[in-house]
Structure formats: C-alpha cells, structure tokens
Amino acid sequence: MPQVLIVDDDQSVRELLRMYFARENFEVREAATGPEALEAAEASTPDLVVLDIMLPGMDGYEVCRALRQRGEIPIIFLTARDDEIEPIVGLELGADDYVTKPFNAREVVARARAVLRRSRTSTATTPQQVIDHPEFHLDPATREVLVRGKPVALTPHEFDIIHLLASRPRIVLPRKEIMQTVWGYDADYGDYRTVDTHLKRARQKLKDAGLTACRIETVWGIGYRFVVEGSEAGS
C-alpha cells in the first residue's frame, strides 16, 4: 500500500484528497504546515508528497528543497495560480508535476499513480539510444546532456522529453504522446501545459548553453520535433 503525504493548510482540501486516495488504497498522512510536513516525512518516509505552495510557517518551495536534500521522494505541487512562473519554480526545484487549483481530485490521484509508476521504473536497465551530434551529446545511461562539451543541468522530466524528441529526429510528436510516454498519464488526465512548461525551460537551457546545430521546433496545434541543422525538416 503506497503512502501519500498530503500537505495543505486548507482542511477541506486535505479531507477531499484523503477520501479519494483512500479509495485507491493509499495510506494517507496529512500535514497543515511546512514544519509539520517535514516532521511527518522524517517520522515515516512517504512514497509521494502532494504539496501546496502557499503554506504557513514554511512555504512549499522550502519544504521541497528540504525533502530533496533527503532523497528523491516524488512531489506533486498544488498551485492556486494559473501562470507559468510558479510551476517553473517548482519544477526547477525538482518537483515531478503540478496541479492547478481548483482541481479534480480523481486527476490528482491519477497523476500520483503515474508519478509513482515513473519513479519505480526510472532505474530500469534497458539500453537506450545515445544521441551524439557535433555540438550535442545525450547519454540516457548517465543522464548527462552536454552542449559543446559542457554539462547542461536538466530536471528529470526535461531530460526525458529531450531524449524522446532527439531519438526521433524530424518526427512531430503530439503533446499527448509526450505526456503519455514521459509521465505515463491516461489521456483523460493529460494537462498539456505541463509539457509546454518543461519544454520551454529545457529549450532555453540548451539555447543558453550555446546549442545552434540542433533545435526543438514547435509545430503549432500538434506538438514538437527535434531538428538537426542541415536536415530536410522545415523551419
């Protein structure tokens, strides 16, 4: 029985999520503040944390930083804001996903299951394709990305998206397919803004590192593709 720690200062939110997670055979623990969350995680390491950002005593970002120092516990942020800045900060801190309030509780549980599946299979030893171009090197075994010989720090999901696209150059991958492959979500629970947020950040990191020979193109209304300079793909 997986254990989930629900951290939110709103009791009604905790009760709603407790009910839905319990229905899906999760063991549920709760915390209403940042310090309480860290105490609960110290007492019994959860398999997953659903973490509100706006918390008394210590905000969700601080809690996430502290949890990340202890290990790779999967984290899903709850955010009350529907803009890009807040999710990007959370993802940069190492969160696995985010859900915007008001949310569908069934969706949160579905996302939680997908994150857990992903975390449990991330150490699989199945060989994966190494991507090697003059300016760009990606090794899935070491989880390293190099641009002009220098490492680029990508989050786990950013890495997985880039590897997925780069291993299928010129092929347009719909956001739905990226979501299902990288996150493992059922289509009904696919929030494609998550894909867009991760890709926007990853693309900027590669650009800042000096990558010019390869690029990620947006194919409006469909998805994304990885293009190598000089290929026959359109601009």
Count structural domains, the chain: 2
Strand partners, 50: 6, 76
Note the pTM of the prediction, 2 decimals.
0.64
Would residue 157 count as lying in a domain? yes
Would residue 126 count as lying in a domain? no
Tell me how far apart the alpha carbons of residues 224 and 68 are, in angstroms, rounded to a whole number.
30
Are 50 and 145 in a shared domain? no
Tell me how far apart the alpha carbons of residues 6 and 18 are, in angstroms, rounded to a whole number.
8
Are 112 and 80 in a shared domain? yes
Are 105 and 215 in a shared domain? no
Question: How confident is the model over 142-154, as pLDDT tens digits?
Answer: 889 999 999 998 8
Would residue 139 count as lying in a domain? yes
CATH number of the domain enclosing 212: 1.10.10.10
Question: How confident is the model over 11-60, as pLDDT tens digits?
Answer: 999 999 999 999 999 999 999 999 999 999 999 889 999 999 889 889 99
CB contact at 8 A, 194 and 91: no
The one-digit pLDDT tens for each residue of the chain (235 residues) are 899 999 999 999 999 999 999 999 999 999 999 999 999 999 988 999 999 988 988 999 899 989 888 777 889 988 876 555 566 666 667 677 888 888 889 989 988 888 887 766 654 444 578 888 889 999 988 889 999 999 998 887 888 899 999 999 899 999 888 888 887 765 554 567 778 888 888 999 999 999 988 889 999 888 999 998 765 444 3
